[in-house]
Structure 1
Amino acid sequence: MKFLFDRVMIVGVGQIGSSIGMALMKKKLAREVIGLGRSTKNLQEAQKRGAIQKYVTLGATVLSRCGSLKDASENDLIILATPVQSISDYLKMLSARVLVMDVGSTKGGILKIANQRKLRFVGAHPMAGTEKSGVQGGNPDLFQDRFCFLSPSHYCKKSDQKRIQELWKKLGCQFAVIEPGLHDRMVGTTSHLPHVVAYSLMSAVMRMSLSVNQLKEFKDYFASLKGMTRIAASSPEMWHDIFLDNREYLLMATDLFEEELKKIRHFILKKDSQGLLQALRRSQKSRFQIFGHPQ
């Protein structure tokens, strides 16, 4: 059997990392799938769930962790599925001869390091994550009918890019190659800002002098709140890194959101019925233009 890769070494077996591992195993895309991480318990759980075949527990320092990857060959693939800051740390240490792919939510800073180090690197961002986190959220079909952005380094061979593209196709994704800055501006507005809003909304609700017990009693009737704050159940540690790494575009987006919120507040405060209705209709029209009318 001809495999797409000989060995795939997945650093970080959370939801995305374990889902990739499960899909690789299910579709037989690699001869061997190895998980690497700092928690032996998490790695054992990933192995039990069929995300990896074997595992290596990493040391406390990035240098020692990269030492665990030194045996990777040109036909292998290293997947960095860690928080964004850790991805940058790994890229500063990894060998330039090995093909590397990350699955982080930002690309500008990561590609800058990859190009400086002349790495065979493709930045990937599968738009497939959910509010679930950890290996318990792993799903071999997570990427089916989803979309993935790809940003190759200047030193990534065409053959490497084709293999990475083929990987995502076999995982079920459509893909597009995108410039890192455009990617970060786009997801800063369409993904990162909504997470800021969801976390902030949940905090605001808890400050409205309503007890947790009062809210829990009627939680089944709060469909709007539940829907809008679903992503506030996501990993705070992961989003902490994303917010700080993409702060330039995220701050631009939050400033614009704050302006729009102030407009709505002003119309309500002044009982400006016409202004309020126009603002709401404008937003509704924009929503329909992008996502279409509800079925």
Structure 2
Amino acid sequence: MKIGIVGLGLIGGSLGLDLKTYGYEVLGVSRRESTCTKAVAMGCVDTASVDLSLLGKTDVVFICTPLGLIIPTARQLITSLGRNVIITDVGSVKTPIVEGINPLWENFVGGHPMAGTADSGIEAAQRNLFVERPYVITPTATTRPENIQVIEGIVQQLGAKIYYCQPEEHDRAVSLISHLPVMVSAALIASCMAEGESQVLQLAQQLASSGFRDTSRVGGGNPELGVMMAEYNRDALLRSLSEYRHQLDELIALITQENWQGLTTKLNSTHQARPKFVE
């Protein structure tokens, strides 16, 4: 089976490394010739080009571009593909992607591997990135079962944990555990930087350790990705942010009122709930 990858960054490059390990012929497309050269040298792909027509004879194509380029890429890509080629994507928002590509290509299967690192680009590609990580597949009523099975088979080889849900359900869930944390973390950093006394700000920067590092990491990440999350998952993110503001207001009220028992109850509740989200 020939598999195409459009977008040779962390996800696309890591995907290619694993697929080649399992014996697939992997063809890659990137916007930059230099990335194509690196991808081949690193063993991420067998062949690479800046021309989408390279993927004309593939069986499956993964679109691994930034979120805002997925639909435009699909529009360009389908002019080069045979009618039976399966297209899937790795976008972190599913509803607009599925609604945008389904009418264009009957063999589309929406997907989202929830894996990554703080690094980006082809240089960050690594083997086994998807092992034991969630991989969400978002079929609709018109998605062909045989196409789902093909993508499922590939994902199983990657060692990922497969989950199925509707695109809308996916977007509401990731707004809570992925997109909201980015905004909350960004607000944390901005709140610190708003300290008006330079000596206090400098001291805070010097004292910051693991707690601040962990809670600020995603807010200090790629700004472009954060903006795309907000743009493409706007309604779900606003809903999550509103609930978060409500929870902050509750905490402010408890502290203002010196209601230490109420605060203890609140923090005990969150202490007990956290293991349900992370091991």
If the length of structure 1 is used for normalisation, what is the TM-score? 0.84
Stretch moving more, 111-120 or 255-264 = 111-120
1:171 aligned partner: 158
Q: Give structure 2 stretches of 5+ with no counterpart.
A: none
* Cα deviations by residue, 1:162-216 (Å, 9 ceiling, x for unpaired): 1110100001112022111111111111111111111221222222245786455
Find 1:22's aligned residue among 7, 11, 17: 17
2:135 corresponds to which letter in structure 1? C
Are 1:119 and 1:153, in contact at CA under 8 Å, matched by a contact in 2?
A: no
The aligned length equals 273
CA RMSD of aligned residues (A): 2.2
If the length of structure 2 is used for normalisation, what is the TM-score? 0.89
- Tell me, yes or no, if structure 1 residue 281 matches structure 2 residue 268: yes
Find 1:77's aligned residue among 55, 60, 69: 60
Are 1:19 and 1:51, in contact at CA under 8 Å, matched by a contact in 2?
A: yes
- Tell me, yes or no, if structure 1 residue 56 matches structure 2 residue 17: no
Are 1:198 and 1:228, in contact at CA under 8 Å, matched by a contact in 2?
A: yes
Are 1:146 and 1:174, in contact at CA under 8 Å, matched by a contact in 2?
A: yes
How far apart in 1 are the matches of 2:12 and 2:243? Answer: 34
1:91 aligned partner: 74
Are 2:27 and 2:54, in contact at CA under 8 Å, matched by a contact in 1?
A: no
2:41 corresponds to which letter in structure 1? K
2:109 is paired with a residue whose SS is: strand
- Report how far residue 147 of structure 1 moved: 1.6
How far apart in 2 are the matches of 1:93 and 1:52? Answer: 21
- Report how far residue 88 of structure 1 moved: 1.8
Cα distance change, pair 274–218 in 1 and its aligned pair in 2 (3 A): closer
1:85 corresponds to which letter in structure 2? G
How far apart in 2 are the matches of 1:187 and 1:283? Answer: 19
2:132 is paired with a residue whose SS is: coil
How far apart in 2 are the matches of 1:114 and 1:153? Answer: 12
- Report how far residue 251 of structure 1 moved: 0.4
- Tell me, yes or no, if structure 1 residue 130 matches structure 2 residue 125: no
Q: Give structure 1 stretches of 5+ with no counterpart.
A: 59-67
2:211 corresponds to which letter in structure 1? S
2:102 is paired with a residue whose SS is: helix
2:8 aligned partner: 13
* Cα deviations by residue, 1:125-180 (Å, 9 ceiling, x for unpaired): 11112222112221111011112110135554322211110100001112022111
Are 1:131 and 1:232, in contact at CA under 8 Å, matched by a contact in 2?
A: no
Cα distance change, pair 123–106 in 1 and its aligned pair in 2 (3 A): same
1:39 aligned partner: 32
1:61 aligned partner: none
How far apart in 1 are the matches of 2:166 and 2:59? Answer: 25
Aligned pairs for 1:117-196 (under 5 A) are 117-196=104-183
Which structure 1 residue ranges, 4+ long, deviate > 6 Å from structure 2? none
2:56 is paired with a residue whose SS is: coil
2:247 corresponds to which letter in structure 1? E
1:286 corresponds to which letter in structure 2? A
How far apart in 2 are the matches of 1:167 and 1:119? Answer: 19
How far apart in 1 are the matches of 2:50 and 2:105? Answer: 28
1:116 is paired with a residue whose SS is: coil
Stretch moving more, 88-97 or 173-182 = 88-97
Cα distance change, pair 37–118 in 1 and its aligned pair in 2 (3 A): closer
Are 1:12 and 1:35, in contact at CA under 8 Å, matched by a contact in 2?
A: yes
Are 2:185 and 2:220, in contact at CA under 8 Å, matched by a contact in 1?
A: no
